[in-house]
Amino acid sequence: MSYAIKAEGLVKKYGDFTALDGVDLEVPAGKVVGVLGPNGAGKTTTVRILATLMRPDAGHATVGGHDIVKDPVKVRQLIGLTGQYASVDETLTGTENLVLIGRLLGLSRRDAKARSAQLLEQFSLTDAARKPIATFSGGMRRRLDLAASLVGRPQVLYLDEPTTGLDPHARQEVWEVVRNLVADGSTVLLTTQYLEEADQLADSITVFDKGRKVAEGRPGELKRRVGGQVLQVRPTVAADVPLVAQLLGELSGHAPAEDSGVLTVPVDDPLLVAAVARRLDGAGITADELGLRLPSLDEVFLALTGHTPTVKDEASDAQPVSV
Amino acid sequence: MSTQTISVPAPTVELTGRISVAQTVSHSFALAGRGFMKFMKSPIQLVDVVLTPIITLLMFIYLFGESMAKGNTDWYLHHVVPGVMVMAVFQASVGIGASLAADASTGIFDRFRSMPIARSAPLIGAVLADIVRYVACLVTLVALALVMGYRFDTNLVAGTGALALLIGFALSFSWMSVYLGMLIKNPTSVQGLMTILILPLTFASNVFMKNDGMPGWLQAWSDVNPVSLVADATRGLLNGGPVAHGLYGSLAWMAGVIVVFFPLAMRAYRKNAG
């Protein structure tokens, strides 16, 4: 398998703080790899190193076979970057921003304009082409940001938390764009603190915590690795919840977790579902929902790191040096 | 999402692995164009470089002019107008550190850094875009001076030369401000520091009066002060009189400042990237 990105033992320290503590990462060509982790996990630091914005203190990495430290210009010729913060010019229009980037990449004025028009059309931004970015909604801004990263038709695209701060509708729009890119065969390194986002978009997920890689695999594999299936029951009548909880505890041998009327227990024995159904029936209790499911990525994260991915202060993602 | 495809040539993706001087120039001009567009969209950014010289010139002619000119108002106007041009364009040149410090903390500089363009291009582009500020400043001053009765005594070529010298002076000295901006990174601190730093350069000079009334040590400084030298050359070019001494001195200062501060600014800028 050929790798678009291959990183080994990346270390980055800010004074006493170790942002990256020996991270390996492999992204196969044409795949989407999601890096999942809370703020401060080292996601952005990894992207900044792989985008040649900063050098690692130790370890090495190649993008498209080119060393990020020895051959940064070649790496920059292959990549596109959409950062966490809008990396377009607020006062300029959509077209002006994209044409500038095209010109910087060596397109003639005519070709830069054509490429800009094409991307604006592709990202449904044609109506906004002549308006300053400052008037754009959050979702439009991210789409333009993505378009700006694609002017040079990069082989490898970095999306650093592309939907952080967006409302659910705008998030869906960005997801749609990313899915289309992937269908075109782009290689994407996506960082996110949203478990659902990694699950939706990525072929495989690498979980970071405190500057280390704590797990990797396909979304389904990760879920299975962390404790198999769970049985989920939602009694029709809320008053039945304690009784059902007691019953589930007896049958499964585990204390069930309860969350807004839904009871969840790990399943060791495949016959448990049938046994639970019979007992509920016998007790005259009906359930709106009764079934097996894989654990959510939230539960996976808890199992892998010992804590849930709490969303902390935005600025805490290992970025004391900002320029 | 439309799936329509239009054929647009992809940018040249020969992986050269290095950026040529010609590319650096072209990237810098493209980015200067960005700065230029930004000025055109909000000309309010030019208000300081238009108002400050107006106030300075009016103040020195009408408030202090009588006592300084000792009755010879026309001589004093010819002395002060070129001087205020130097001072004003110098003051206009120090704003760049603060604005670059602010600009560089936004995501767009990350984008530039992740692109295969010359590392220096965003800084050079910003420095060049400020030519708009210098032109606005000088045009305002010349117009006001003409209204106040100032007349050029030389020809168009010399006058154009004077404007070119003043803009070149501002362009080279702005690298001091760029360096501080990249080093300190806080726009307000950079602006405050630059304002203090240019005081000994602008006031301990021959801008407002001949320096023969100064104490010896101050006169010695004023004689080699770049502001005095550029003012001398500008006076020569606009009013007639000797040009060479001031011009060579000015060019030496400009070259020296670039040789020292351009590498320092680039080093600070690279370091900021981590």
What would the mean pLDDT of A50-68 be, rounded to a whole number?
A: 94
Distance CA B69, CA B61 (A): 9
Q: Å from B173 to nearest chain A CA?
A: 23
Q: Å from A164 to nearest chain B CA?
A: 15
B44/A contact by beta carbon, under 8 A: no
Inter-chain contact A322–B115, Cβ cutoff 8 Å?
no
Phi-psi region of B220 (alpha: psi -120 to 50; beta: other; left: phi over 0): alpha
Q: Which uninterrupted H or E stretch holds B103?
A: helix B95-104
Check residue A309 and give its pLDDT.
56
Nearest to A58 by CA among A17, A24, A12, A14: A12
Quick one: CA torsion of A97, A100, A105, A110, rounded to 10 degrees? 110
CA distances from B37 to A92, A210, B100, B133 (A): 8, 43, 16, 13
Q: Å from A83 to nearest chain B CA?
A: 7
Q: Å from A189 to nearest chain B CA?
A: 15
Say whether pLDDT at A297 is over 80: no
Nearest to B257 by CA among B177, B162, B164, B197: B177
With residues binned 3-state (H G I as helix, E B as strand, rest as coil), the percentages for chain B, rounded to 5, are 80, 0, 20
B27/A contact by beta carbon, under 8 A: yes
Per-domain residue ranges of chain B: 22-272
pLDDT tens-digit series, residues B196-226: 888 888 888 888 877 777 788 888 888 889 9
Check residue A270 and give its pLDDT.
74
Check residue A117 and give its pLDDT.
96
Residue B241, SS3 per DSSP? coil
DSSP class per residue in A250-303: HHHSSPPEEETTEEEEE-SSTTHHHHHHHHHHHHT--EEEEEEEPPPHHHHHHH
Q: Å from B268 to nearest chain A CA?
A: 11
B110/A contact by beta carbon, under 8 A: yes
Tell which CATH classification among 3.30.70, 2.60.40, 1.20.140, 1.10.10 matches the domain A229-293.
3.30.70
Nearest to A163 by CA among A63, A311, A297: A311
Structure tokens at B152: 């050029």
Distance CA B178, CA B271 (A): 14
Check residue A76 and give its pLDDT.
94
Check residue A56 and give its pLDDT.
95
Quick one: CA torsion of B38, B44, B48, B49, rounded to 10 degrees? 50
Q: Considering only alpha carbons, which residue of chain A is nearest residue B185?
A: A323
Q: Which residues of chain A are within 8 Å of residue B38 when distances are taken between CB atoms?
A: 89, 91-92
Which residue ranges of chain B lie beneath pLDDT 50? 1-6
Write down the residue that tokens 């405050």 correspond to: B192
Distance CA B258, CA B251 (A): 11
Contact present, A102 and B11 (Cβ < 8 Å): yes
Angle among Cα B88, B90, B91 to the nearest 5 degrees reads: 65
Residue A40, SS3 per DSSP? coil
Of all residues in chain A, what percent carry a pLDDT higher than 70?
90
Option in A111, A180, A321 nearest B1 (CB): A180
Inter-chain contact A124–B111, Cβ cutoff 8 Å?
no
Inter-chain contact B273–A118, Cβ cutoff 8 Å?
no
Whole-complex ipTM: 0.84
Say whether pLDDT at A116 is over 50: yes
Say whether pLDDT at A47 is over 80: yes
Contact present, A276 and A262 (Cβ < 8 Å): no
Nearest to A41 by CA among A17, A70, A57: A17
Of all residues in chain A, what percent carry a pLDDT higher than 90?
41
What single letter denotes the amino acid at residue B252? A
Check residue A71 and give its pLDDT.
93
B245/A contact by beta carbon, under 8 A: no
pLDDT tens-digit series, residues A255-276: 888 888 888 887 877 788 888 9
B119/A contact by beta carbon, under 8 A: no
Check residue B11 and give its pLDDT.
53
Per-domain residue ranges of chain A: 3-217, 229-293
Option in B15, B27, B274 nearest A321 (CB): B274
Distance CA A127, CA B13 (A): 31
Inter-chain contact B109–A132, Cβ cutoff 8 Å?
no
- Between A76 and A225, the more confident residue is A76
Distance CA A141, CA A88 (A): 8
pLDDT tens-digit series, residues A144-193: 999 999 999 899 999 999 888 888 888 888 888 888 888 887 899 999 88
Inter-chain contact A106–B9, Cβ cutoff 8 Å?
no
Class of domain A3-217 (CATH, top level) = alpha beta
Distance CA A178, CA B10 (A): 20
- Between A230 and A27, the more confident residue is A27
B45/A contact by beta carbon, under 8 A: no
Distance CA A258, CA A264 (A): 6
Inter-chain contact A102–B19, Cβ cutoff 8 Å?
no
pLDDT band at A323 (very low <50, low <70, confident <90, very high): very low
Nearest to A261 by CA among A233, A290, A301, A223: A233
The answer for B 161-180 residues in CB contact with A (under 8 A) is none
Q: Which residues of chain A are within 8 Å of residue B13 when distances are taken between CB atoms?
A: 77-78, 152-153
Inter-chain contact B15–A102, Cβ cutoff 8 Å?
no
- Whether the domain at A3-217 and the domain at A229-293 fall into the same CATH topology: no
What would the mean pLDDT of A40-49 be, rounded to a whole number?
A: 92
Distance CA B160, CA A94 (A): 38
DSSP tag of B213? G
Comparing A278-282, A300-304, B174-178, the range with the smallest average pLDDT is A300-304
Q: Å from A180 to nearest chain B CA?
A: 9
